[in-house]
Amino acid sequence: MKFVRQPFLLFISVMALFASGSKAGVYDPSTLSTVLPGKWRGVFHLRPGVEVPFNFEIRPSGKALEVYLVNGDEKFATGNLNISGDSAFIPLSLFDNELAFAVDGNRLTGVLRRVDKRGSGTLFEAAKGGNFRFIETGTLPVKDISGRYDVVFQQAGGKEEKAVGIFRQEGNRLQATFLRVTGDSRYLDGMIEGRDIALSSFIGSGPVYYKATVQEDGSIKGEIVTARGGQPFVAALNDKASLPDAYTLTRLKKETSSLQFSFPDAKGDLVSTADQRFAGKVLVVTIGGTWCPNCMDEAAFLAPWYEKNRSRGVEVVALQYERDTSRGNVKKVFDRFSRRYNLKYPLLLGGVADKKAVTASLPALDNFLSFPTTLFIDRKGQVRKIHTGFSGPATGAEYGKFIHEFNDTVNELLAEK
């Protein structure tokens, strides 16, 4: 099913939503509760001529409707859908966004916008029953492109950024992710027809769209498509494609081997490395932010890991660098993040979400490249390893390798007297 409505007409049809307010609560079983549950295919109108598809699922749960954004093998929970009159709102609270839309039978028309309604937002439409991503024509793929690739992204000013691409193909179905030193691009879902590749992803921040073409020599040439333009990239098959060792990229200054900090938690109480709770224990310090998708993946790993291992004499602290550091916002986002991932370790406010702010607030660091970055500190308070970035579950074997190395490092530090 293809949407044909022009973006301007779509804009007119959803303007009334900007004056609406969302209302949390139960749904009316006699109206929208029978229409909304099911699988949906949506299309963002990123800019004229550029449509980015996404998939989501709405499930009844008691008197609520739960929403999951679907990207390949991942179903990313957003929270319960809210209904007000004939309009509905899907909260994307981790990103302070929402999908606001009007319901017309099995079709939705709306906008992805900030909860505070600043900015114009991104228009979208959705149709029920769409269990596919991109519209297929039936053209067979020119080849199976599954494998690892050396990737080079072209940046502004002629600079190049090297990455690793991982593609998994089954027939026309294609899933992928790109690994950079700062982390991975998470789950990309799409297709390949003939030589043409299309991939997209959406978990609540903004839609992500990659388009590319398989070249005669088997390489891949494409671009990341954004609302303002595109970022070109090229990829060459290499089963040994790799990035620099993540444990060598972030360093301490030569004159120090320890890391000290004293930062406030959500209540404003200071937590310091000198606190008794850390004395004689192995300490894992992660530097991230509640807005960071790779940090979300890391929290999903660390939360159950900490619960299982804390009795062995290990502690975890998350130093968060946020876009809004006001007391009210910090409490809101910390509480929300902790509830989402069931965190039992403290979140501390390190400062504003800026790499220079990290090194300014942690003067022991010689440099800082990525949110998240993880430090392993021994019982004597000495920093033994620093891992830059995070390879999440979308990376498959890379994620398994990281978990193995993480556990080996902590076990070695715990074994030291």
Return the structure tokens found at 18: 């900007």
Neighbours of 327 (CB within 10 A): 12
Is the same domain home to 328 and 231?
Answer: no
Residues 14 and 102 occupy one common structural domain: yes
Residues 121 and 156 grouped into a single domain: no
In one-letter notation, the amino acid at residue 391 is S
Instruction: Indicate if 172 and 82 belong to the same structural domain.
Output: no
Could you tell me if residue 244 is inside a domain? no
287 located within any domain: yes
Specify whether 66 is located in the same domain as 151.
no
Is 249 part of any domain?
no
Does 105 reside within a domain? yes
pLDDT tens-digit profile, the chain (417 residues): 444 455 544 544 555 444 444 444 444 545 677 789 999 999 999 999 899 999 999 999 888 899 999 999 999 999 999 988 778 999 999 999 999 999 888 899 999 999 998 888 999 999 998 789 999 999 999 999 999 999 999 988 889 999 999 999 999 999 999 999 999 999 999 999 999 999 999 999 999 999 999 999 999 999 999 888 889 999 999 999 999 999 999 999 999 999 999 999 999 999 999 999 999 999 999 999 999 999 999 999 999 999 999 999 999 999 999 999 999 999 999 999 999 999 999 999 999 999 999 999 999 999 999 999 999 999 999 999 999 999 999 999 999 999 999 999 999 999 997
Q: Which residues on neighbouring strands pair with residue 63, listed in sequence order? A: none
> Are 362 and 396 found together in one domain?
yes
How far is 30 from 7, CA to CA, in rounded Å?
Answer: 32
Using the 8-state DSSP alphabet, how is residue 135 labeled?
A: P
* Residues 121 and 153 placed together within one structural domain of the fold: no
CA 300 distance to own-chain centroid: 12
For position 6, what pLDDT does the model report?
52
243 in a structural domain = no
Same domain, 279 and 232: no
- Whether 248 maps to a domain, the answer reads no
Q: What is the pLDDT of residue 35?
A: 83
Shared domain check, 163 and 112:
no
State the helix-helix crossing angle for 327-341 and 293-309, rounded to 10 degrees. Answer: 60
pTM for this prediction: 0.91
* CATH code of the domain covering residue 347: 3.40.30.10
Residue 246 lies in a domain: no
The last residue of a domain, from among 128, 163, 196 = 128
CATH of the domain at 182: 2.40.128.120
pLDDT at residue 31 in the model: 65
DSSP 235: E
Q: Which of 101, 128, 155 is the last residue of a domain?
A: 128
Instruction: Return the number of other C-beta atoms located less than 10 Å from residue 147's C-beta.
Output: 16
309 and 411 inside one domain: yes
411 and 268 in a common domain: yes
Boundary-marking domain end, from 96, 128, 160: 128
Which amino acid belongs to residue 231? Q
Task: Give the residue carrying structure tokens 């932010």.
Answer: 289
Regarding whether 411 and 316 lie in a shared domain, the answer is yes
300: containing domain = 262-415
Residue 142 belongs to a domain = no
- Give the tokens for residue 296: 């979300």
Per-residue DSSP letters for 303-318? HHHHHHHGGGTEEEEE
Query: Per the structure block, which two tokens stand in for 60?
Result: 């009844």
pLDDT of residue 143: 97
Are 145 and 167 contacting, i.e. CB atoms less than 8 angstroms apart?
yes
Both structure tokens of 203: 């978990």
Number of domains in the chain: 3
Q: Torsion angle of alpha carbons 96, 44, 299, 153, nearest 10°?
A: -120
Strands, E, within 81-159: which ranges? Answer: 82-84, 87-92, 97-104, 107-114, 122-128, 147-154
Calculate the dihedral angle through the C-alpha atoms of 61, 62, 64, 66, rounding to the nearest 10 degrees.
Answer: -10
